[in-house]
Amino acid sequence: MQEIPTPSSIEPTVPTPSFKAKTNNPNEPAAGHADTHLPRKLYRKEQKQAKRRLKRQRLAQERTRCNQEKRQKRIAEAKQRETIYQLQKAKWEEKERECQAIEAARKVAKEVDKRAREQAMVKTK
């Protein structure tokens, strides 16, 4: 038995022209233009994207440069604080040694004074 073709199964044959017809697709080049030609809309879009990309890159570089400067500044400040602390610590330790020497001298003087009193008490008795 032979199948009867239905209208949906029959594909129309359309002759293809030898030249490129103008299409509504903006991504395809127009008739008569080389394949490198971009429609104005796409060209402008690419230009905008390139400008935005450059701006983002410039801002990112500036941000990293600022972060590096801030980090270096923080490191310098930390070193400066450390040196100030070390100087103050040296002063405190020196004062502490002086106070300990004074206390030791007072203790020795007290002992000497105590012995002298004891000897004076022994003599007066």
Q: What is the pLDDT of residues 108-121, one digit of tens each?
A: 999 999 999 999 88
Per the prediction, the chain carries an average pLDDT of 83
pLDDT reading at 19 higher than 70: no
User: Which residue is associated with the tokens 């991504």?
Assistant: 27
Of 41, 44, 39, 46, the closest CA to residue 22 belongs to 39
- The pLDDT assigned to 38 comes to 83
pLDDT digits (tens, 9 = 90+) for 25-37: 666 655 555 567 8
Average pLDDT over residues 51-64: 94
When pLDDT is cut at 50, 70 and 90, the band that residue 64 belongs to is very high
Report d(CA 51, CA 58) in Å as an integer. 10
Burial of 38 (0-12, 13-18, 19+ CB in 10 A): middle
